[in-house]
Amino acid sequence: MSRTAEIIAVGTELLLGNIANTNAQEISQALSGLGINVYWHTVVGDNPGRIWEAVELARNRADIIITTGGLGPTYDDITKQTICKAFGRELVLHPDIVEQIRAVYESRLHTSMPDNNIRQAELPKDCVIFDNPVGTAPGCAFEADGVHALMLPGPPFEMRTMLERHAIPYLRKLSKEVIVSHDIMTFGMGESRLEELLLDRMRDMTNPTLATYAKPSEVRLRATAKADSVEAAEAMLAPVVKDVTAFLGDIVYGVDVKGLEYACVTALRERGLTLATAESCTGGQLAARLTAIPGVSAVYRGGVVSYWTQLKADILGVPAEILDAHGAVSEPTARAMAEGVCRVTGAQVGVSVTGVAGPDRDERGVDVGVVYVGLCTPAGTFCKALNLGKRRRDLLQNLAGNHAFDLVRRYLTGRPLD
């Protein structure tokens, strides 16, 4: 039997926008892998009446309720009390948990436990207790009237630890199905065009399914299968992923790859080459994305952010006659920047980005969205001219960065560069 879940995040700070609701995202991802359908996310403030209303609504439309937040020691931490009231459950004090919390204060925080922390040791009668090795608030789970209620702490690290250690094993026993997904990552074609090309396939599929999801500057195709086991789901997905990847061709840069920069790093390692970056309008974004990847120092030499035109000449060696004749945003400058960063760093491959990110044209009247991506390789130097249109500045920078990584990826994998 398929189970349905609702995630209720408790906390006024979520409603005010002070923090993002990352807990719901992580829990949904975990439930998907367990074959549990998540149909609703609810966010509610620290108000007993509204929490009670949210729980009453959830228990009438889902057979699993997972809450995060409101398990602390302060007066507005009322999740347990409200849920127990909704389900007619008594709260019971656990002296052994009081001593565990006291030990945390004395051994880790080197202070005495405040009296109000005793509230954290009050848990629903006959519940399954989830210990919290990284905090003071234990979680719990119980079943009533065919509904399973799980309460997890709000701090993301505590929630994640408890989810992995306790909630997932508890929930795994409730579901006999698994859901497995693979993401086919694409760059170079919009979501509408991709959906148009794949519409007949998508309409005919029920299990597995295929859906498009637009990310900033790229599109992800998610293939999903539900089966009795991971192995069975994988067997159902394999032909779908193979067929779609072959059909779309070189706009696919990988399956289950985090981003284009990861595809570039993998290809650099496979070919034994090193990369350097020369940036202007992207302001160091290429370098930041690359250096976020563990172990990238094996293939990434470094980068130069030559935002000021004079630095293009002084550091990257862009000839003055090129800058005078063509300007900082031009194909000759992009080529010279890529060659210069290879010369400076000793990398075998250099990629450069120069363009106008806005909000206004540059001093030579070049329009916002005009970008040149240069690529210096052992086989020669190439350049890609782009007109990305008048977009928001950060979106233009992100899109220009993706074009740079895509050009590197295409060269390294033997794909056409245009």
- Determine contact, residues 91/44, Cβ cutoff 8 Å: no
CA angle 252, 266, 278 (to 5 degrees): 90
Residue whose tokens read 């063509």:
326
The interaxial angle of helices 260-271 and 393-413, nearest 10 deg, is 30
**224-239, pLDDT tens digit by residue?**
998 988 899 999 999 9
Share of the chain above pLDDT 70, in %: 100
Q: What is the pLDDT confidence band of residue 109, given thresholds at 50, 70 and 90?
A: confident
- Determine contact, residues 386/241, Cβ cutoff 8 Å: no
Q: Which of 126, 119, 118 is nearest to 99 (CA)?
A: 118
Q: Which tokens go with 379?
A: 């086989």
**28-82, pLDDT tens digit by residue?**
999 988 889 999 999 999 999 999 999 999 999 999 999 999 999 988 889 999 9
3-state secondary structure 9-52: EECHHHHCCCCCCHHHHHHHHHHHHCCEEEEEEEEECCCHHHHH
**70 Cβ partners below 8 Å, 6+ apart?**
10, 11, 46, 51, 76, 77, 78, 79, 80, 82, 154
- Determine contact, residues 38/3, Cβ cutoff 8 Å: no
CA atoms within 13 A on the CB side of 406: 22
* Interatomic CA distance for residues 328 and 313, integer angstroms: 10
* Interatomic CA distance for residues 106 and 112, integer angstroms: 6
* Interatomic CA distance for residues 11 and 8, integer angstroms: 10
Same fold, 3-172 and 178-255: no
- Reply yes or no on whether the pLDDT at 334 is more than 70: yes
Range in 4-18, 106-120, 233-247 the model is least confident about = 106-120
What value does the mean pLDDT take over residues 332-350?
Answer: 98
* Interatomic CA distance for residues 9 and 189, integer angstroms: 36
Q: Which of 197, 317, 175 is nearest to 249 (CA)?
A: 197
415 three-class SS: coil
- Reply yes or no on whether the pLDDT at 369 is more than 90: yes
101 three-class SS: helix
Q: Which of 127, 162, 125, 120 is nearest to 142 (CA)?
A: 127
The interaxial angle of helices 230-248 and 191-204, nearest 10 deg, is 130
* Mean pLDDT for all residues in the chain: 94
- Determine contact, residues 333/311, Cβ cutoff 8 Å: no
Instruction: Give domain 260-413's CATH architecture.
Output: Alpha-Beta Complex (3.90)
- Reply yes or no on whether the pLDDT at 379 is more than 60: yes
Give the CATH superfamily of 3-172: MoaB/Mog-like domain (3.40.980.10)
Instruction: Check residue 389 and give its pLDDT.
Output: 92
Q: Break the chain into its structural domains and give their ranges.
A: 3-172, 178-255, 260-413
Instruction: Check residue 215 and give its pLDDT.
Output: 76
Instruction: Check residue 1 and give its pLDDT.
Output: 57
Instruction: Check residue 284 and give its pLDDT.
Output: 97
- Reply yes or no on whether the pLDDT at 331 is more than 70: yes
Q: What is the pLDDT confidence band of residue 133, given thresholds at 50, 70 and 90?
A: very high
- Reply yes or no on whether the pLDDT at 361 is more than 70: yes
- Reply yes or no on whether the pLDDT at 321 is more than 60: yes
Q: Measure CA of the first residue to CA of the last residue in the chain; give whole Å.
A: 50
* Interatomic CA distance for residues 91 and 81, integer angstroms: 7
What value does the mean pLDDT take over residues 230-251?
Answer: 96
318 three-class SS: coil
* Interatomic CA distance for residues 397 and 401, integer angstroms: 6
Q: What is the pLDDT confidence band of residue 330, given thresholds at 50, 70 and 90?
A: very high
What value does the mean pLDDT take over residues 107-129?
Answer: 93
What value does the mean pLDDT take over residues 383-399?
Answer: 94
Range in 46-55, 102-111, 325-334, 394-403 the model is least confident about = 102-111
**58 Cβ partners below 8 Å, 6+ apart?**
6, 8, 40, 42, 65
Share of the chain above pLDDT 90, in %: 86
- CATH number for the region 178-255 comes to 3.30.70.2860
Instruction: Check residue 154 and give its pLDDT.
Output: 95
**356 Cβ partners below 8 Å, 6+ apart?**
281, 329, 362, 366, 367, 368, 369, 370, 371
What value does the mean pLDDT take over residues 365-388?
Answer: 96
The pairing of beta strand 349-355 with beta strand 218-227: unpaired
* Interatomic CA distance for residues 155 and 142, integer angstroms: 22
CA angle 41, 43, 45 (to 5 degrees): 165
Instruction: Check residue 131 and give its pLDDT.
Output: 95
